[in-house]
Amino acid sequence: MAKTPRFTTQGKTADGSGDVPGQGSQDSLDSQGPADPKHPVDQGMPPLKLFTTGLQHVAAMYAGVVAPPLVVGAAVGLSPTELAFLTGASLFLAGIVTLFQTLGFWKIGSRLPFVNGATFAAVAPMLAIAKSSGPEDTLPVIFGATIVAAALGFVIAPFFSKLIRFFPPVVTGSVITLIGVSLMPVSFNWAMGGDEKSPHHGDFANIGMAGLTLVIVLVLRRFTTGFMKQIAVLIGLVIGTLIAIPVGITDFTAVTESDPVGFPTPFHFGAPQFAIPAIVSMCVVMLVSMTESTADMLALGEVVDRPADRKTIAGGLRADMLGSALSPFFNGFMCSAFAQNIGLVAMTRIRSRYVVATGGALLILLGLSPMAAGLVASVPQPVLGGAGVVLFGSVAASGIQTLMKADLSKDNNVLIVGTALAVGLIPIAAPDFYHAFPDSAKIILDSGISTGCVTAIVLNLVFNHLGRSRRDEEVVAHPMEPGEGISYERDEPDPVHGPDKAPA
C-alpha cells in the first residue's frame, strides 16, 4: 500500500516533488493529522476566502502598480481621461502577468504566490525618454523599447537562472532584508500623504491616520484568530478608510467620474516606435528587473517553504518578460515582481498560489472597470502607509530568518552581510550619493536592492568560492538546501592541528 507523501525538514518529499527546508510545513502537518499530498502552495481554498485574501493582495500592491503610469502620464501631459485609461491598462496587464506567474503554462511561470505589475525601476528612464521625445512620440517610443528589451529578456531567462548557485542563504538573506528595508521609505511617504508637493504632506492628520491603521492591524493580529487574523491587513485598510472620511483625507472623485466599463484598446497611443537609445536604456532596466525578480523569487521560496530552484526562476523570468513584451500592445509598461506582497504572504502564512491568482483575476476586472479601480484608489495613502509598515517590516524579518541559516560565526559571511547591507542602504541613507554619475548608471545605483544583491554575490564568490578547497566549497555551495549535507562537527577546532588547520 502506497504511503502518503510527507514534507520533511530537509531533502525532498517522498514523491520527489521538491526540496522543503525549514520546519513550518512539518509542524503544520503534524498538528493536522494525516499529511496532505499537496504542498500548501498548491492547495485551494473556499471561494469566500479566495476572494477576501486575494483582495488583500490587490490592496497591498495597488498603489505601486498605478504609480508608474500616473508619474509617466503626468510627465507626458495626458488628460485625466487618458491618464485613467493608462492606469486601467496597467492594472489589466498586472492581472494577466500575475496569472502567468501563479498558474503558469508550458515553461512559463514560477507557480508560486507571486504578484507582478509595472515596475517602478523603469520610471526614471521613461522620464528621460519623455524629455528627448515629443509628447506624441514618447509613449510609442517607450512601448517599442519595452517590446525589444522584454523579448531579449525572455530569450536569456534560462541562462540568467543558472546564477542560482551563487545565491546561498548569506546572499539571499542579505537581499531579502534589503528588500524590506528599501520598501520602508515607501510606506513612510504614504503615511505622510504621498504627495511631497502638497501643503498637507506630513501633517498630523496624515501621520495620525497611518498610526491608527497600524494599531488596528496589530490589534487584529493579536486578538483575533483564524481567518480574521489572516485578513487583518484588509480589515485594517477598510476600517482606516472609513475613519478617514470624517477626517477629510478620503477622495471618491475617481469613483464618481469614472465609467463603469472600459477596455484597454490596443495601441491606443499609437504604434510602437523603435529608437536605439531608448532600447538600450530599457535593456538596462530589463537586467535590473530580472535581478530583483530573481531575488524576490528566492525570498518567496523561503517564505513558503518551497525554495526556488533554477527551473522555477527560469519560468518566473519568462513570465515576467512575456508579460512585459505583451504589455505595450495594451498600453502597459515593463512588469516585475512586487516585493510588498511577499511581506503579506510572510505575515498571513497563506501560501496558496490560487489566492494570488484570484488577486490577479481581480486586477483584470479592475482594469476593465475604471469605476471599480477608482474605488480601490480611494483608499487614502496614509492608510496604506500604516499597513505598509507591517508588510514591509515582515519582509525584512524574513530576511533575518534566512540569515540565521547562514553560518555567521564565520568572519567571511559577516563581512559579506555587513558590506552588502551597507552598499544597499546608500540610496536610502544618502539619496544624492550618486548624483554626479551618468543617468544610465543611476538606474542601477539608485536601486539598493540591485547594488546590494550584486555586492553580496561578488563577495560570496571572492570569499567562499575562489581559491577555496573542494571541502570548503561543499559547505557553501548548496544555496537552496541550507544545512543539508553539512557536518557541523567539521567546523569545530581540530585538537591536533588547531582551529584553522584541520585536515581536509
For the chain, which residues make up each domain, given as ranges? 42-409
pLDDT score recorded for residue 124: 66
pLDDT score recorded for residue 219: 93
pLDDT tens by residue, 124-179: 677 777 776 666 778 888 899 899 999 999 998 888 877 767 778 888 788 778 87
| Residue 214 reports pLDDT greater than 80 | yes
| Residue 15 reports pLDDT greater than 60 | no
Using pLDDT thresholds of 50, 70 and 90, give the confidence band for residue 180: confident
The count of other CB atoms within 10 Å of the CB of residue 319 is: 32
| Residue 477 reports pLDDT greater than 50 | no
Average pLDDT over residues 67-94: 78
- Cα 301 to its chain centre, rounded Å, is 12
pLDDT score recorded for residue 469: 47
| Residue 223 reports pLDDT greater than 70 | yes
Average pLDDT over residues 449-466: 84
- Cα 19 to its chain centre, rounded Å, is 22
Using pLDDT thresholds of 50, 70 and 90, give the confidence band for residue 27: very low
pLDDT score recorded for residue 376: 65
Q: Which candidate, 332, 257, 321, places its Cα nearest to that of 89?
A: 332
Average pLDDT over residues 450-476: 71
DSSP 181-203: HHHHHHHHHHHHTS-TTSTTTT-
pLDDT tens by residue, 249-266: 887 776 777 677 777 778
Average pLDDT over residues 467-472: 52
Q: Are 448 and 182 in contact (CB under 8 A)?
A: yes
pLDDT tens by residue, 350-360: 888 888 888 88
| Residue 394 reports pLDDT greater than 50 | yes
Number of Cα atoms under 13 Å in the Cβ half of residue 328: 24
Q: Which candidate, 55, 87, 413, places its Cα nearest to that of 262?
A: 87
pLDDT score recorded for residue 298: 81
Pairing between β-strand 335-337 and β-strand 116-118 as defined by DSSP bridges: antiparallel
**Phi, psi values for residue 117, rounded to 5°:** -170, -175
| Residue 395 reports pLDDT greater than 50 | yes
pLDDT score recorded for residue 304: 82
pLDDT score recorded for residue 148: 92
pLDDT score recorded for residue 3: 40
Q: What is the rounded CA–CA span in Å between residue 118 and residue 385?
A: 20
pLDDT score recorded for residue 203: 87
pLDDT score recorded for residue 504: 39
pLDDT score recorded for residue 208: 92
| Residue 495 reports pLDDT greater than 50 | no
Q: Which candidate, 483, 422, 344, places its Cα nearest to that of 174?
A: 422
Q: What is the rounded CA–CA span in Å between residue 319 and residue 498?
A: 51
Q: What is the rounded CA–CA span in Å between residue 390 and residue 129?
A: 36
| Residue 103 DSSP one-character state | T
| Residue 400 reports pLDDT greater than 80 | yes
Q: Which of 200-209, 292-301, 326-335 has the lowest mean pLDDT?
A: 292-301
Averaged confidence pLDDT in the chain:
76
Q: Kindly tell me the burial class for residue 151, based on how many C-beta atoms sit within 10 Å of its own C-beta (0-12, 13-18, 19 or more).
A: middle
The grid coordinates of residue 126 equal: 521613461
Q: Are 328 and 500 in contact (CB under 8 A)?
A: no
The answer to whether the pTM exceeds 0.75 is no
pLDDT tens by residue, 30-59: 334 444 577 877 777 788 888 888 887 887
Q: Who has greater pLDDT, 472 or 148? A: 148
DSSP 73-100: HHHHT--HHHHHHHHHHHHHHHHHHHHH
**Phi, psi values for residue 297, rounded to 5°:** -65, -40
Using pLDDT thresholds of 50, 70 and 90, give the confidence band for residue 115: confident
pLDDT score recorded for residue 420: 92
Average pLDDT over residues 62-79: 73
